[in-house]
């Protein structure tokens, strides 16, 4: 069954950001060890060039990160992460002042400094579990917060993850975390089911099939499926060969109600959004 995605709105530090179609969040990695080497940038000029191309080809949000969160990745200290991302946020914000920037971090101090430099969304893959100050910081800053489900942390999350009922347990996790976020003063929340964050292939597929069930929580849903291990396993390819599978996965997520796609390949994701949106609009005619 087709699931229309909107409408939704966020308060971006006093600017109302409204949308009725799904959004595309482009990934800008400032790490030497992210799982897909095609997403990495190693200079400020390359960063600005890639950011511009992403915006030109359909990115609604740019997500800037300085720490790999692939399974088994070694944790980078907050100071090192800040040295990577803060100049990048400042440079992208200066070059594209109207662009919506997200900071991908689980450190409250990095999030706060990045918001001061021009970011307007916090994307925390830990769900506030790594830095206890994160929820209060997001509430004080009054910026949207991406709440991700994760089992454990990147260093351990793929060590034989177990669930009695993955959909039910992720729903319960979100319910509990949403309550804590609201108590901290966070009003705009985006839910990320955490594909690949403490889940095996079967868990990921179950969540993708059940994505529409999370609409009951009343918040926008983000799907982070781009070139991930589940797609690689099904197709027998590596991350570089997972483009076609990613487009299919994105299409399924959109048809089940995803509001945001977090992607490496913006043009292809934006085209998926256009086609699925056209189909959604036709079904309501």
Catalytic residues: 228, 262
The alpha carbons of the chain give a radius of gyration, in whole angstroms, of 17
The C-alpha atoms of residue 20 and residue 29 are separated, in whole angstroms, by 28
Strand partners, 15: 12
Nearest to 241 by CA among 258, 253, 250, 228: 228
Residue 217 structure tokens = 């929580």
Strand 15-19 with 8-12, pairing: antiparallel
The C-alpha atoms of residue 67 and residue 241 are separated, in whole angstroms, by 23
6, 57, 221, 242, 277 from 271: Cα distances, Å? 18, 9, 19, 17, 10
Residue 123 structure tokens = 């994307």
Residue 52 parent element (H or E): helix 44-56
The C-alpha atoms of residue 54 and residue 28 are separated, in whole angstroms, by 9
Nearest to 174 by CA among 205, 137, 216, 141: 216
Nearest to 263 by CA among 239, 281, 235: 239
């Amino acid at each position: 069954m087709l699931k229309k995605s909107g409408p939704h709105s966020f308060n971006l530090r006093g600017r109302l950001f409204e949308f009725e179609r799904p959004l595309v969040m482009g990934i800008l990695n400032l790490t030497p060890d992210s799982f897909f080497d095609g997403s990495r940038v190693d200079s400020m000029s390359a960063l600005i060039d890639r950011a511009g191309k992403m915006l030109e080809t359909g990115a609604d949000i740019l997500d800037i990160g300085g720490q790999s969160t692939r399974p088994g990745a070694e944790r980078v200290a907050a100071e090192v992460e800040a040295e990577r991302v803060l100049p990048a946020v400042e440079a992208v914000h200066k070059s594209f002042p109207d662009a919506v920037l997200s900071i991908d971090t689980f450190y409250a101090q990095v999030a706060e400094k990045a918001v001061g430099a021009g970011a307007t969304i916090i994307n925390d893959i830990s769900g506030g579990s790594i830095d206890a100050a994160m929820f209060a910081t997001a509430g004080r800053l009054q910026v949207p917060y991406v709440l991700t489900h994760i089992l454990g942390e990147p260093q351990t999350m793929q060590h034989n993850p177990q669930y009695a009922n993955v959909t039910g347990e992720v729903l319960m996790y979100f319910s509990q975390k949403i309550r804590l976020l609201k108590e901290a003063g966070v009003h705009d929340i985006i839910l990320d089911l955490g594909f690949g964050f403490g889940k095996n292939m079967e868990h990921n597929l179950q969540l993708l099939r059940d994505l529409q069930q999370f609409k009951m929580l009343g918040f926008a849903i983000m799907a982070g499926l781009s070139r991930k291990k589940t797609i690689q396993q099904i197709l027998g390819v590596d991350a570089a060969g997972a483009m076609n599978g990613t487009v299919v996965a994105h299409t399924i997520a959109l048809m089940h109600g995803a509001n945001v796609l977090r992607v490496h390949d913006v043009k292809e994701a934006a085209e998926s959004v256009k086609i699925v949106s056209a189909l959604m609009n036709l079904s309501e005619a």
